């Protein structure tokens, strides 16, 4: 097999970088890519180039920014299978799900292109007293400055796209630090952008380790730090980020509430998929399911049947839904959390570990203080618990330190409104799993789950500042 060598993309060029890192498949351990790592010198060069590109980015007309985003979308479309295979090989994502991610990235840049044509300021009425009659105020959105984007392995293309696309759409220079486990998608995107003739420094890709990433994230020239990843790392970077505006999309412990009036077959099917797809390595994967007591046993058996029907195995197979977790260390951690719950009295359905594989697991009667109850498992594990009182179950969901999204399966409009009003989350999904996301919707969390919102127009707001023009009514 010819293993590609990927390089950083800095100031319009592909330098050799420093040491070469081998990227291994979580499925079988084979080397699937080699990536030249950027060191402190390359990071300094990228920061200088991005800072110097601010005026060129701000000067790009809306039509050119639209063309760039459309060009990236077309480039992804042309290299879609190559991108999907790299995601499958490096991140262990089942190939059908990897292809779906690539399609989403195309949509993300297409949406950004559309937003570039309508993203604007507004007229502010300031003729509020006799002294200001005839005065006008108009705002425009201007790029805030250099964006540093850090993204994780589980969506190695589209989570980066959600940071890069809005930056290009507003003309902000962006430096993307891709995930070390799955960097090739970002490197391929750099090749696509390079062919579009963007100003040097407007878009750069810097594969690197944690120490170099911290240099990027904490430099005083950085105006925006957009980070997706674990909560401890995200909050630690925020504490070191100085004056930069920080957007954090962090962990979750997503809950679904299944009421007795819901379509139980649909709820079980969606929760099984939402909890187990891609081995649960999604920050809005279904981790907790609260089921109304009168239908608890019926739902549990339906859920178990749906989970058992999911295809587990080689991620390169078209029908695989559950592949390996990212590495054996993660698998061992998940296994230890399941064991802790079992020792605390939990009932375990399914499960087991083989290398980097954790088989789908359903837990009942899990202690409330178990790590798998309180923290993000990021694995194919679902916790089941019955409830009698809807108010009480809303409180149980809110006890989590996280607040990304929640799902509520019910036909009751009153319960829907109550959940929307009282659940401490960034989004409430009704009659579908909390794993639902469309790329133009506002997406983000509260509490330990993050700050700010992604979704194209919402990120574009974060990446820009309003600048007001006041026109005097005086001659």
Residues forming the active site? 249
Pair 321, 311: CB distance under 8 Å:
yes
Burial class (CB in 10 A: 0-12, 13-18, 19+), 42: buried
Tokens (6 digits) for 367: 């202690």
315: nearest Cα among 83, 85, 157? 85
The β-bridge partners of 381 are 361
Distances (CA, A) of 419 to 175, 257, 409, 443: 39, 10, 11, 18
Q: How far apart are the C-alpha atoms of 80 and 104, rounded to whole Å?
A: 11
């Amino acid at each position: 097999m010819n293993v590609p060598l990927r390089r950083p993309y800095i100031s319009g060029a592909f330098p050799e970088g420093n040491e070469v890192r081998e990227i291994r498949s979580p499925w079988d351990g084979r080397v699937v890519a080699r990536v030249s790592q950027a060191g402190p010198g390359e990071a300094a060069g990228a920061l200088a180039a991005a800072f110097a590109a601010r005026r060129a980015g701000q000067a790009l007309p809306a039509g050119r920014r639209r063309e760039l985003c459309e060009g990236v979308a077309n480039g992804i479309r042309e290299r879609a299978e190559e991108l999907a295979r790299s995601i499958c090989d490096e991140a262990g994502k089942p190939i059908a799900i990897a292809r779906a991610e690539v399609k989403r990235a195309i949509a993300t840049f297409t949406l950004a292109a559309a937003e570039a044509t309508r993203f604007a300021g507004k007229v502010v009425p300031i003729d509020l007293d006799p002294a200001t009659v005839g005065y006008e105020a108009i705002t425009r959105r201007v790029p805030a400055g250099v964006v540093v984007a850090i993204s994780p392995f589980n969506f190695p293309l589209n989570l980066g796209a959600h940071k890069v696309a809005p930056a290009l759409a507003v003309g902000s220079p962006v430096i993307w630090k891709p995930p070390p486990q799955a960097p090739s998608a970002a490197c391929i995107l750099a090749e696509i952008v390079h062919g579009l003739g963007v100003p040097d420094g407007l878009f750069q890709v810097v594969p690197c380790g944690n120490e170099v990433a911290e240099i990027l994230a904490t430099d005083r020239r950085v105006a925006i730090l957009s980070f997706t990843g674990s909560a401890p790392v995200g909050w630690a970077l925020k504490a070191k980020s100085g004056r930069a505006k920080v957007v954090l999309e962090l962990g979750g412990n997503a809950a679904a509430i299944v009421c007795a009036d819901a379509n139980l077959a649909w709820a079980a099917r969606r929760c099984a998929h939402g909890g187990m797809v891609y081995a649960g390595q999604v920050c809005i994967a279904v981790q907790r399911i609260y089921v109304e007591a009168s239908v608890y046993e019926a739902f549990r058996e339906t859920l178990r049947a749906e989970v058992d029907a999911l295809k587990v195995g080689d991620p390169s197979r078209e029908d695989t839904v559950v592949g390996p977790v990212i590495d054996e260390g993660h698998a061992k951690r998940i296994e230890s959390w399941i064991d802790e719950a079992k020792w605390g009295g939990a009932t375990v359905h399914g499960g087991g570990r083989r290398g980097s594989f954790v088989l789908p697991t359903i837990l009942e009667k899990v202690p409330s203080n178990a790590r798998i109850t309180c923290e993000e498992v990021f694995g194919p594990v679902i916790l089941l618990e019955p409830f009698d009182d809807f108010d009480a179950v809303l409180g149980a969901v809110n006890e989590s330190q996280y607040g990304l999204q929640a799902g509520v399966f019910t036909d009751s409009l009153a319960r829907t409104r109550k959940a929307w009003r009282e659940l401490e989350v960034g989004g409430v999904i009704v009659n579908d799993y909390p794993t639902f996301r469309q790329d133009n919707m506002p997406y983000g969390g509260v509490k330990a789950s993050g700050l700010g919102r992604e979704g194209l127009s919402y990120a574009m707001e974060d990446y820009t500042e309003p600048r007001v023009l006041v026109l005097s009514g005086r001659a």
